[in-house]
Amino acid sequence: MAEERETDLALEGLVHDLNNVFQTIVESAELLEPDRKWASLARTLRRSADRGRRIVDGYCETTAAVATVDLEQVVEAAIEFAADVLVALRISGVEFRRDVERGIRLKGHPTAWERVFFNLLINAGQAMPKGGAVSIQGRLNDDQVVVTVADDGPGIPEEVLPHIFKPRFSTSAKRTGMGLQIVKSLVRKNGGTVHAANRAEGRGAEFRITVPV
């Protein structure tokens, strides 16, 4: 019990410190916003701080607290976040194309699903530093929700495919290799599966998520 209490206090302290960091970012954005030169950056900082808070809050909450989430809404939130990050990374020319059936709901917390799609979208964007298209399709197929994220980048080398969901596996020294492991973990937590492959038609990679209704 003492160890559990210490863990709870450690998490509570981490949340407190992170919220202070987010608040500092928001206050810095408020200083920049009146200047037209920095207004766009200020808005990006505000959105990033808000997302950071949502991620922390979502991590602390149980998925049972929210029965289902709207797929279309979390996809839109993930696209907005990915677009902001790509701007910060100075990657331009990436177009996000969404084709999501209305009314589809997923079991789980909205922040968790936003993290799933954000990681897939940002990986696709980084694979196309000179630009390209990323498509997100969501369909209700009998008793399953099927979401596909595909890009027209270089694809995934065949020798890499069996390893991409492993923790800290990355083909780039600049990346942590945690993004796809987070995707797999959160999808499985909500009873789903995720599969990676190269597109059968054209070039690029494709990730398919299947979740029971």
Give yes or no: residues 51 and 148 share one domain.
no
Side chain identity at residue 148, one-letter code: T
Give yes or no: residues 19 and 78 share one domain.
no
Q: What is the pLDDT of residue 121?
A: 95
Give yes or no: residues 16 and 98 share one domain.
no
pLDDT above 70 for 8: no
Q: Containing domain of residue 171, as a range?
A: 64-212
With cut-offs at 50, 70 and 90, classify the pLDDT of residue 64.
very low
Give yes or no: residues 68 and 37 share one domain.
no
- Report yes or no: 114 and 78 within 8 Å, Cβ to Cβ: yes
Could you tell me which of 31, 66, 65, 25 has the C-alpha nearest to residue 46? Answer: 25
Kindly report which listed range (19-33, 133-147, 182-196) carries the lowest average pLDDT score. Answer: 19-33
Q: How many structural domains are present in the chain?
A: 2
With cut-offs at 50, 70 and 90, classify the pLDDT of residue 176.
low
Q: What angle do CA 167, 168, 171 make, to 5 degrees?
A: 125
- Can you spell out the DSSP letters for 166-193? STT--SSTTS-S-HHHHHHHHHHHTT-E
Q: How far apart are alpha carbons 177 and 169 in whole angstroms?
A: 5
Q: How far apart are alpha carbons 23 and 200 in whole angstroms?
A: 46
Give yes or no: residues 145 and 207 share one domain.
yes
Question: For 91, which DSSP code?
Answer: -
Give yes or no: residues 80 and 144 share one domain.
yes
Q: Domain end: 11, 38, 60, which one?
A: 60
Q: What is the pLDDT of residues 94-127, one digit of tens each?
A: 999 999 999 999 988 888 898 899 999 999 999 9
Kindly report which listed range (46-60, 91-105, 167-181) carries the lowest average pLDDT score. Answer: 167-181
Tell me how far apart the terminal alpha carbons of the chain are, to the nearest angstrom. 37
Q: Domain end: 41, 60, 79, which one?
A: 60
Give yes or no: residues 106 and 29 share one domain.
no
> Which residues are within 8 A (CB) of 71 and not within 5 positions of it... i.e. 6 or more apart?
100, 101, 104, 105, 106, 113, 138, 145, 147
Q: What is the pTM of this model?
A: 0.76
